Amino acid sequence: MSIIYLAIFVWLTVTNVTGFMLMAKDKAESKKKRPQRISEKTLLKWALLGGVAGVYGGMEYCRHKTKHQDFRMKLWLIFTLYLTAAVLIIGIIITH
């Protein structure tokens, strides 16, 4: 069972670091006014893959997309989804 926990840990680490780095890269590109920006859709995909904390952390740390209420709401929805899933999974593990 510990290999499963290790795999989950590695997956969440990779997705969160990637989400943070993508947010930082998009912020840098926005300052340069370059057309090679990272779409909100891509950022939300990484959040949905498990990197919601990294994307949110990058948003706050880089002060990027903080005024985009639609983006923030979608990010909080993804966070709520993961939190609900985690509570349910922990509940199942504890009761078995």
User: In a 3-state reduction of DSSP, which class is residue 35?
Assistant: coil
pTM score of the predicted model: 0.86
Say how far apart CA 37 and CA 30 lie, in whole Å.
Answer: 7
pLDDT digits (tens, 9 = 90+) for 35-84: 789 999 999 999 999 999 999 999 999 999 989 999 999 999 999 999 99
What share of residues in the chain are helix, strand, coil (percent, to 5)?
85, 0, 15
Predicted pLDDT at 79? 95
Average pLDDT over residues 13-33: 94
